[in-house]
Chain A
Amino acid sequence: MVAGRGRLARAVQVWLPVGFFLVVALFPFYWMAITSLKADSELYNRHLMPLLLRNPTLKHYIDLLTQTHFLLWTWNTMLVAVVSTAISLVLGVMLAYPLARMRFAGASLIAMTVAAIYLVPQPLLFIPLADLINRLGLGNTLTAVILTYPTMLVPFSAWLLLGYFKTVPMELEEAARIDGASRLQTMRRIFLPLCTPGFISAGIFAFTLSQNEFLYALIFLTKSSVRTVPVGVIAELIRGDVFYWGQLMAGALLGSIPVALIYSFFVEHYVAGLTSGSVKG
């Protein structure tokens, strides 16, 4: 009896707070999903219990895919995310490797500068950047965002990789150097293959950040054919004062799926990167 009450008390102590956090965290996604599956007649009927779904329909999804450029926006978003992630990983390695492995005058100053640049928020830069992109004639091209996203992603990847690189033992590289390999060969053939987990962490973060980016895309991409999902959804599915909530929720859900999928495959890497980034510095 006493043992039974103890177990019950423990279950309450665990599941009451955890359950509360789960419901708060997930309810908006549940609401997105059921809204996107309801027909308009059900959606805008105030006499029905809103939390339930009666007659699911894919109409909003079909409308979204056939009447808007949603597929094109998805393609643009993916293309931009993949290219800017790749650029950021390459440039990030070029910054992080010397900083992690070599001693030279100015190294710690550069490391601090890179960290500081990562912390510079976009609103400080967007006005001069908008002018710069216009003068370069890059307005309404994906190049504009592919060039500007790495301004946040490069320092970030470099910072994350720097932390990871420092945890890799140096013996293998030293052995390769003694065997006569140049620094470049040692880095490419011996060191980088050891760092796959670090690249996965940095890559997922960079990919998620580029999918999430809004301000630069909003300013640089004003034509529907070059828009990314977040900008397309905000600029074109909200038409004046008329809201197409079913389509909007379908778009929000579909737009979240790529990030959520990648995230679910690599969640351990993601959490490792998240905690190492701020815990270890």
Chain B
Amino acid sequence: MSIRSEPLVRVALPPRRAFSLAGWLDREAVFGWLMMGLPLMFLAALVGYPLVYGVLLSLQDRVIGKPGHFVGLKNFITNFHDPVFWRVAVNTFIYTIAATLLKMVGGLALAVAMNQHFRMKNLIRALLLLPFIVPTVLSTVAWMWMLDPAFSVVNRLLIGLGVTPPGPSWLGNPSLAMFSLIMINTWRGLPFYGITLLAGLQTVPPELYEAATIDGAGGWHRFRFVTLPLMKPIILIVTLFSVIFTFADFQLVYVLTHGGPQNATQLFATYAFDIAMGAGQLGLGASVALTMLPALGLLIVALTLYMRRA
């Protein structure tokens, strides 16, 4: 009897296992943190540290090639009294709001147009996304040529339609330069909006439209009361994305106008670049760039929380 029962007891009450490295490594928390250690250190070194260092720089009179001294809020006060800085703030808001609204409306129109049945849809969808995937700088150079003061194809077409030569100076006139930037930003960003919203449209159950039709809803009412409410989360996410990256846009402006004429198209990013890289005033430039932080920070937190909920 004792011979038979002994193994059973052992199975039921195994002796406490000695510490095993393999077992320890397999614990979820240990494995997880070890795995994430390298990427997290990388991000801490090249995103976290620069962010903090940027704040420190903005409080210094640092110039390229010289050590800086702590000057408190002097840079921010300089900005406050700089008329160009306020011009830049207004430009950035106009640019962001106008381009985002255009992309939102145009993107919805594109999504609705693409949500019909027709041939070669996948090919057309691929072609429509081209402006979004081609490197911005390269397509912007093409636009620069299309709006060239002497040989603008846009103006030559407009003159053909009866506009008095030489036609508008798209990049030379302050208001038109801003207008051109907004249009080109829209041209590039619209496909992203449209194709993302199209994916959202396709998730709307057809029964809802049928039910609405039976209830007597016409095309506009179906769009307004069925499509739009269901699309609200996607529209919100895409819009926040677009606002963040339009607000901090650099490439398009740098290539097309360099912020000119007379700072009419200067945005926070390009102005910070001019001050820090052009004039070598790292501290002052950092303070201009940091001015974007409150607005961007709010947007980023809002979008992160919203995506987590969705």
Residues of A in contact with B (beta carbons under 8 Å apart) = 13-15, 17-18, 21-22, 24-26, 28-29, 31-32, 35, 43-44, 46, 50-51, 91-92, 94-95, 97-99, 102-105, 107-108, 110-112, 114-117, 119-132, 147-148, 150-151, 154-155, 158, 182-184, 208, 211-212, 214-215, 218-219, 229-231, 233-234, 243, 245, 248-249, 251-253, 255-256, 259-260, 263-264, 267-268, 270-271, 274-275, 278-281
- Min CB distance B121 to A, Å, is 9
Per-residue contact bits, chain B 196-212, to A (CB 8 Å; 1 contact, 0 not): 10011001000000000
In contact, A94 and B36 (Cβ under 8 angstroms): yes
Size class of the contact patch on chain B? 35 or more
A-contacting 9-mer, from B6-14, B41-49, B168-176: B41-49
Residues of B within 8 A of A25 (CB): 127-128, 130-131, 187, 191
CB-contact partner of A214 in B26, B57, B250, B290, under 8 A: B250
Complex CA–CA separation, A131 to B65 (angstroms)? 10
Asked if residues A279 and B127 are in contact (CB atoms below 8 Å), the reply is no
User: Given known contacts A25-B127, A28-B131, is B196 in contact with A123 (CB within 8 Å)?
Assistant: no
Are A121 and B244 in contact (CB-based, < 8 A)? yes
Q: Are B195 and A271 touching (Cβ within 8 A)?
A: yes
Known A-B contacts A119-B300, A256-B135; A279 and B248 likewise in contact (beta carbons under 8 Å): no
CB-based contact A125/B145 at 8 Å = no
Contacts of B72 in A (CB 8 A): none
- Taking CB atoms, residues of chain B closer than 8 Å to A21 are 110, 113, 128, 194
Nearest chain-B residue to A95 (Cβ)? B39
With A110-B40, A128-B51, A150-B42 given, is the CB distance from A214 to B136 under 8 Å? Answer: yes
Main secondary structure of the interface of B (DSSP, over half): helix
Q: Does B245 contact A (CB under 8 A)?
A: yes
> Which single member of B32, B156, B250 contacts A102 (CB below 8 Å)?
B32
Within 8 A of A (CB), among B106-153: 109-110, 113-114, 116-118, 122, 124-131, 133-139, 141-143, 145-146, 148, 151, 153
Q: Does B268 contact A (CB under 8 A)?
A: yes
How far is A117 from B92 in the complex, measured between Cα atoms in Å?
22
Partner of A281, one of B22, B109, B134, B307: B307
CB distance from B11 to the nearest CB of A (A): 18
* B102: Cβ under 8 A from any A Cβ: no
Identity of the chain B residue whose Cβ is nearest the Cβ of A280 in the assembled complex: B310
In the complex formed, the residue of B with least CB distance to A215 is B250
A252: contacting residue among B38, B117, B129, B138, CB under 8 A = B138
Complex contacts, B141 vs chain A, CB 8 Å: 233-234, 248-249, 251-252
Q: Mark B269-310, 1 if CB is under 8 A from A, else 0.
A: 100110011000010011001101100100111011101101
